[in-house]
Structures are given as structure tokens and as C-alpha cells.
Structure 1
Amino acid sequence: MKGWRGLAVGAAALAVAVAGCGTSTDKGSGNSGEPKTLTVWLMDGSAPTALTEALHKEFQDSNPGVTVKYDVQKWNGIQEKLTTALTSNNPPDVIELGNTQTAKFAAEETLLDLSGDVSNLNGDQWLSGLKDSLTWDGKQYGLPFYAANRTVIYRTDLFKAAGIENAPKSRDEWIAAIEKLKAANAADPEFQALYLPGQSWYALLSFIWDEGGDVAKAQGSAWAGALNTPEAKAGVDFYKKLVDTSATKAPKDADEATPQQYEVFAKGKTAMMIGLPWELGSAVKADPTLKDKTAAFPIPSKTAGKTAPVFLGGSNLAIPAGSKNQDLAKAYLKLLSSKKYQDMLAEGGAVPGTSKDTAKLATNSIGKALADSAPNGKVTPTTPSWAAVEAGQNPLKDMLTAYLTGAKSLDQATADANAALSKTLGG
């Protein structure tokens, strides 16, 4: 996952990282004092410069003769570049992967199995959802780097004017807040209590998971759709309730990127959007006055006082199976997984990957919302086939549009999407 940084409202810009191509020839028996090069690829916008500079200085000081070759990669085309690099005779030593990409490379046996190193990499501090994204065939193929999740970003001034004193802590309170906002702004035909596009399927995941459902389930070594269950249908139905109650003007046949929902939010006629930190940062950049009148709360659960499960998008770090500096790469990951550097990630606005201590993150409203909801986070199915779901004609998007527009009933929309999911995942 990319593009979630740029947080305003009292937090520094967030970061993402990817690893790169190695140039040394030693097989990785540790550092014997000989000159070696450890190549690290981190993604553009991932790790704050202050973090990488401190990390690489400390690592090189602790490993005389070792030079860290730090290469920053672009997200565009990275999957193809990694595919080529990982199958070469001289792959990178440490790489960053989107957490939905990890299963693909693990299944291709191009990543090093780190199951025996988990405890040495602060494994007891990993969030369960992030650990799941690293698991393939019962083995661990890396460590979580960072994550971010969606929260409800809202206008504090509009809430106050509508008589809403506290952020909603249940679905019922959320619906009640929408009704109050609509009533208080009834004279403005352009007003939207909640901007919710018809195909925001990442937000849909929260409602399905909150009902106890899922989009797909493992059946042995294969996966099949699970959208035809009563729980999944209840999640889809609540999505429609939000759309209908809010009377959102968002298109029912597009997602949050068409148009960019932060652009709509920045126009000042929208009270809420379900978004990522970078979207709030972009809205504030477009209208700096929003900085002092925006805040966030976790997506509420149907159970009062609880947060709904959220999709944890972010990155993992892994060691290519062909790295010639595997022991050094493990030492690098061990240092990066320490509290010192995880705190630096949190200070930058990210959910730290290998530390459950989010005190450095929860220093502002959106950081606190991220910290409060992350422990209840999950990831999409950990199968290489999932990439085809997102890259192709996403059945979840088609299902939402069909149901929201009335083209299909709930039963028919979920049944058709379920069949399409099963076909893609089974392939």
C-alpha cells in the first residue's frame, strides 16, 4: 500500500520503505571485518530521513567495514522490478514490500524464511493483523515495517454547530450524528454529512469484519469467496444505510480516488469522510484553515465503545532468499525493529510495525484514532491471487455499485461477487 503519508494537524509527514540490490559477494556469515556492502531498498516517502541517517550510522558503526547502500525506489513498477531482482544472481539484501504483495513473493520462494528469527525481531510486539500479512504456508517471511488505517475525519466546527458534543462511539451514535448534521445544514443544498463513494471497498471491509464476516476464507490451500454469508451481507447492508442516511453526493460507480475525496472535503461543504492521514494532510494543504477545525475518530463498531476492525495497509521488510549477506541483513532488521526506531516511525505518524507502544503516535486526534483502532486491524487474504482481485475488475466494487443503485438485490449482488471472487482466488 502506498500514498498514506502527508499528515497535517500536528504530526510530521509519514513514511514508507523498500529494499534494494546488493553488490557484495560474501554469503552472509556475519561481519568478519572485511569490506562488505549491504544494499537496502526503501520506498519513496517511506522512512523519514532522520530515521535512515541515524539507523545507517549506528549500523555501520557497529559493523566495521560494512557500508549500507541505501537505494530509494519508486512505487510505480516496483513489483516488476522486484520480480527481476529477486530471481537474479545478485538480489538486494533487504527489501520493502507492500503487505498485500508479500504472499506472492513468498509463494515464489524468493524470500528468506525468518520463522526462527521472529523472537529476535520483537515478534511479541507485532500486531496480529500485520503478522498475518507475513505468513505463508505456516512460515514467516519478514517483519512488519509500518502501517496506517482509515479513520473518520471530521469537521469539529460543524459538529459543534450541530450540537454534537462527543465523537460517535457506536454505529447508532454515528447515524444519529449524521441526522443532526443534516438537520443543522438543511438550508445548504451542497452540504454532505458524510462523503462516501459507492466503491470504497476498504471501508466496507470494516463493516463486514465488524459483523463477524469476511470477504474470503481459506479452504485447505485454496481460498473461496465468503460474501454470501449472513454476516457479510449485514456489513454490505450497513454500507448502504450510511450512503442512504447521509444522502452523499458521491458517485456510486467510483471509489474515493475518483474524484479524490480530500478535494471534496477541502471545499468546506462536507462534515466527514472515511480516510487516511495523507488525505487529511492534502485537504489541509488545499485549505490551511482546516488545520484547526478537523479531527478524527475510529470507525465505530456496532458494539458501543468498541472500534470496528480496520484494514491495516502498509509495508513489510524482507530478506531475499538469494542475498549474500543474510546474517548482516538480519542484524539490520533487528536494529530497525528496536523501540528507538519504532518510536521514530510513530513520531512521524505511522503505526509502528514491531512495537505496540503507540504513545509517540497518539499525540493528536488522528494519531490517537490510528493508535486506538490499529490493534483491531486485519489484512486482506494472504494469497498470491489477491493481487488479481485488486488489479482487475474488483468484484467488491461491482457488488457495491449494483446494490446501491438498485440494479441488483443484496442477495444477487453478493452471490455474483462471491462467485467472481472464488473464480479469481481459486485460479
Structure 2
Amino acid sequence: MKRQLIAAVGVAAMVVGLAACSSDGKKDGDDKSSGSTTAADGKKDYNGKTLKVWLMSGSAPKGWEDSVKTEFETTYPGSKIEFQVQEWNGIGPKVTAALSEGSVDVLEIGNTQTAGYAATGGLLDITKDKAAVGGADWAPNQSESAILDGKQYAAPWYVTNRVVSYNKDLWTKAGITAPPKTLDELYAAFDKLKATQGVADPIYMPGQEWYVYFGLLNSEGGKLAKKEGDKWVGGLSSPEAQKAFETYKKIQSYSATGAKDKDEAKPQQKDVFGKGDVGSIIGLGWELPDEKAMAKDKIGFFPLPGKTADKPSGVFLGGSNLAIAQASKNSAMAKDFLKVALNDKNEGLMAGAGLIPNKKSLNDKVVGDFAQAAAKAAAVDGGITPTTPNWASVENEPNPIKEFLTAALTGDYAAAAKKADDEIAKRLNAKQ
């Protein structure tokens, strides 16, 4: 099953007009319009009610919908869960309309998109319900994406992240017998690959791979941006950011064919990797060449190593949250749906499909090939982009982080960082 890593590009445009969706006067977390009654046994009665749930294509693994539907409808006889699968392409306007009209109750939202929809009033504040739906055990680095101004607007569902994918034949030919455990070991492996006949590049990594840089920055304890008082400031001029860049620059220096002014999409790095003369790439576990070009059993995986063997480098955690529409007339039913959807049994099915679940206690259930194992190891120290509704404007082209990386790789770091920080601050502090 293929999934895509969620990013917030275009979210600013997606959520325009959502402020009106709370005009019915219902306050955040208010269940007065939930449409539920209480049976004699004290259990909420949703008999005859249908909860509309939007999921995105490729997210829920096989069996998840049936499991959740059966458990909920058995627990609440007479209720009905109606799942609708949406496509990522063009989803913004559809979500905007649905939230405004109240035509959806629960929906999957990309984790970097959540703050944007929350800020405009589209999502229900579930802060008071967090513990009841299992939030006490949510991984903090996942739950963070669903929090805005101290309030919880969604529940983390799953994440995934990038790993190193390598050509086993080339690494064996270079005399490398085991995946590297530290960055120094990685550089040594790249040196061996570089000296091996038939290897065009130890790694293909163009200069604008900002998700890789983000992970390295996370490892150093730095941020792309942070809030000082009521203003956002860019974080690329910090000592942590410069340390992360030195590591990024070292890795990128092994990619002679990776243009410093390109990202991983043009050309698709999996296609470059599939030619068979590149030692490795850093990408999603399913971001692989066509099997006609390179058989899957010829590809190995490991987390990007850290400075020491006990801790991989940080990663960007891309994934999805489950949110309740502020305009839903079935908010009590929606909250009970979250309890079922996110319980250990059903969240365990996400882990069983190779995704990183929303609580560390379920990580042992993550199964699949070595790509999933590598992703699980790295996810512990993963992070997300700054939680602000304006973040989408930073990712919109021209992306100042990409431009910064190109400029820093080819010129003066301090000047490139200052220019990017100024642009990031400008976009994040712009009035909506």
C-alpha cells in the first residue's frame, strides 16, 4: 500500500472562509447539539444516527474500517458509521466546504494542516475530552501537531518518516558488510562506494532536500522557527541550525549528480536510484523504483545514523490526525468514535500495516519489511514543523528553506540563513 507524506502546501488557501463555520453559536467542546440521548443503563443512545467519517485514500490499512465499524455499531446498537474515502488531490476546497456546511462529522487531516483548520474555527476543541479518548498515552511529538494555543483540536492517528534505502549489490561490491550505526561510519561507507567501479554516486541527494535537513536540525535541538513573545522568528541563524547544516553539507557532498538547486521530485529520486548505479537515497520506505528496474529484495534499509550508535538522526514526522468538525451535530457520537478508532486494538492495526502508531506502547506491533523497522527506530526522535496556521505559507513556493539550502551550499551560510529567517518571519507573522 502506498501512502504519501503529508505536507501543508496550500493550506492557507484551503482554509479561507472557514471562520464562518462556527456561526451557529456553538462553543468549542459544547455538546448541546450532539443529538445524543442517554438510555436507562446510562449508555449513550445513537439509535438511528449516522456518523459521517472522511478518510484519505491509502491511509487506513485493510480491515481497519471494518473493525472500527463493527465495534462501534455493536457497542451502540442502531448506530451507523459511514466511511467515505477522499483523494488528496484537490482535497482542500472539499474540506473547506464540508466543515462550513457541517456535512462531515469526523475527518482525517494531514498533521501539518491541522493548525490551519483549527485557527479558522473548523475543528472542535477536544481538550477536555483528551484523556477520555486515550490522549494521556499519545506520543508528545505526534500530539503536538494537533495543538494550537494550548488547545487540542485533533487526535494523532499515525506518522511515518524517511529512511536510507540502499542498493545491496553495490554495497556488497564495495565491501560494506553491515549498515552504518553512526554518521562517521556512514561517511566511511560512502568513501568505499565512491572508490568502487560502477558506482556513479554513493548517495543521490539534491541540495534542496529540506526534510532531511529538518531531521538533522531536530537532532541538534534546533527549530526552523520559534515564537518570541507574540512574534515568530526564523531559527536558521542559530548555532544548532549551523551544526545541522554541516552534517547536511557533508552528506550532500557525496552526491555529485544531485543538483544543489533541485529537490527530490525533479527528477524523482526513486527513478534515479532505479538506474542501479547509485548507492542510496533518503526517502519514504515505499518510495522505491519500479520492480522491473530494481527488485525489492535488492534494496536494504536503515535509519539515517546519528553521531553515536545509540541514537539515529532525527526525522520529519509526516502523517495524519483525526478531527471532529466544529459544525457537526453529532459531536458526542464523534468523540465516542475516536475512543473506538484509537483504542489499542484498532490503533494496533495501523502498526500492523507498518505505520508508526500514536503511542509508544504500540511500537512493538509495527511489522513489515526492513523499511518499517528503520522508520520505527528513527521516529522516537522525530518532530514536526512549527504549529502555526501560517506555516503553509512557508512551504509555498518559493520555499525559503529550499532557497537557503542552495545558497548555503554554494555561498555564505550566515547571509543565506539571515535572508531565510527574515522571509520565514515575514510569512509567519503576516495577518490572516
TM-score by length of 1: 0.88
User: Using the alignment, how far apart are the partners of 1:118 and 1:248 within structure 2?
Assistant: 49
| Partner SS state of residue 356, structure 1 | helix
1:141-181 Cα deviation digits (max 9, x unpaired): 11111110011111223222222222111111111110011
Question: Which residue does 2:50 correspond to in 1?
Answer: 37
Is residue 68 from structure 1 mapped to residue 81 from structure 2 by the alignment? yes
Is residue 266 from structure 1 mapped to residue 274 from structure 2 by the alignment? yes
Question: Which residue does 2:218 correspond to in 1?
Answer: 209
Question: Which residue does 2:260 correspond to in 1?
Answer: 252
| Partner SS state of residue 419, structure 2 | helix
- Identity percentage over the alignment? 41
Question: Which residue does 1:102 correspond to in 2?
Answer: 114
Question: Which residue does 1:317 correspond to in 2?
Answer: 322
User: Using the alignment, how far apart are the partners of 1:200 and 1:247 within structure 2?
Assistant: 12
CA 1:132–1:33 in 2, change beyond 3 Å: closer, same or farther?
Answer: closer
CA 1:135–1:172 in 2, change beyond 3 Å: closer, same or farther?
Answer: same
Question: Which residue does 2:150 correspond to in 1?
Answer: 138
| 1:48 Cα deviation from its structure 2 partner | 2.1
Unaligned runs of 5+ in 1: 6-24
| 1:227 Cα deviation from its structure 2 partner | 0.6
Question: Which residue does 2:384 correspond to in 1?
Answer: 379
Unaligned runs of 5+ in 2: 7-31, 38-43
AA aligned opposite 1:96: E
AA aligned opposite 2:181: K
- Tell me which moved more, 269-278 or 357-366: 357-366
Corresponding residue to 1:425 among 420, 424, 428: 428
Asked if 1 retains the 8 angstrom alpha-carbon contact of 2:57 and 2:87, the reply is: yes
Question: Which residue does 1:229 correspond to in 2?
Answer: 238
Question: Which residue does 2:25 correspond to in 1?
Answer: none
AA aligned opposite 2:345: K
Question: Which residue does 2:358 correspond to in 1?
Answer: 353
Asked if 2 retains the 8 angstrom alpha-carbon contact of 1:362 and 1:371, the reply is: no
Question: Which residue does 1:198 correspond to in 2?
Answer: 207
User: Using the alignment, how far apart are the partners of 1:201 and 1:28 within structure 2?
Assistant: 46
User: Using the alignment, how far apart are the partners of 2:246 and 2:379 within structure 1?
Assistant: 24
Corresponding residue to 1:57 among 60, 66, 70: 70
Question: Which residue does 1:277 correspond to in 2?
Answer: 285
Corresponding residue to 1:335 among 323, 336, 340: 340
Asked if 2 retains the 8 angstrom alpha-carbon contact of 1:192 and 1:248, the reply is: yes
| 1:59 Cα deviation from its structure 2 partner | 1.4
User: Using the alignment, how far apart are the partners of 1:49 and 1:221 within structure 2?
Assistant: 45
| 1:33 Cα deviation from its structure 2 partner | 4.9
- Tell me which moved more, 390-399 or 357-366: 357-366
AA aligned opposite 1:70: F
1:300-353 Cα deviation digits (max 9, x unpaired): 112342111111000000001111111111111111111111221112121112
User: Using the alignment, how far apart are the partners of 1:253 and 1:261 within structure 2?
Assistant: 14
TM-score by length of 2: 0.87
Corresponding residue to 1:411 among 410, 414, 425: 414
| 1:2 Cα deviation from its structure 2 partner | 5.9
CA 1:54–1:403 in 2, change beyond 3 Å: closer, same or farther?
Answer: same
| 1:288 Cα deviation from its structure 2 partner | 5.0
CA 1:161–1:139 in 2, change beyond 3 Å: closer, same or farther?
Answer: same
RMSD (Å), alpha carbons: 2.0
Runs of 4+ in 1 over 4 A off after TM superposition: none
User: Using the alignment, how far apart are the partners of 1:133 and 1:332 within structure 2?
Assistant: 20
| 1:355 Cα deviation from its structure 2 partner | 5.2
Question: Which residue does 1:27 correspond to in 2?
Answer: 34
| Partner SS state of residue 381, structure 1 | coil
CA 1:161–1:124 in 2, change beyond 3 Å: closer, same or farther?
Answer: farther
| 1:4 Cα deviation from its structure 2 partner | 4.6
Asked if 1 retains the 8 angstrom alpha-carbon contact of 2:48 and 2:79, the reply is: yes
Question: Which residue does 1:287 correspond to in 2?
Answer: 293
User: Using the alignment, how far apart are the partners of 1:299 and 1:193 within structure 2?
Assistant: 14
Question: Which residue does 1:239 correspond to in 2?
Answer: 248
1:22-73 Cα deviation digits (max 9, x unpaired): xxx9633354253111000000111124211222122112222212121111
| Partner SS state of residue 217, structure 2 | helix
Corresponding residue to 1:176 among 183, 188, 196: 188
